[in-house]
Amino acid sequence: MAKTTNITKYTCDRCHGSAYLTDGDPRTSSDWHQITHTTADGVTQEALACTSCQQEFKKFAATQDAVWAAWLTEGKD
């Protein structure tokens, strides 16, 4: 029976979907994404996301970007 080594299990921190991929498999970067979020206290949090959840995160982050930009300019006249 064939034996494959160097396999990593990827699990999405949001939906818990997972995959077993060998080192060097292009899906390790095309299907899995390390995302970051900075809390109100300035703490950077990281999570691993599948592509679907990463797309949802980007929508969420875009709304936060808009709020940030509005907040940053509202104090100026």
Complete DSSP assignment for 3-35 = ----EEEEE-TTT--EEEEETT-THHHHSEEEE
Q: Which is nearer to Zn ion, 10 or 14 (CB)?
A: 14
15 binding Zn ion? (CB under 5 A): yes
Q: Is 21 in the site for Zn ion (CB under 5 A)?
A: no
- DSSP H/E element including 49: strand 44-50
Stretch that binds Zn ion, among 1-9, 25-33, 46-54, 64-72 (CB under 5 A): 46-54
> Total binding residues for Zn ion by CB under 5 A?
6
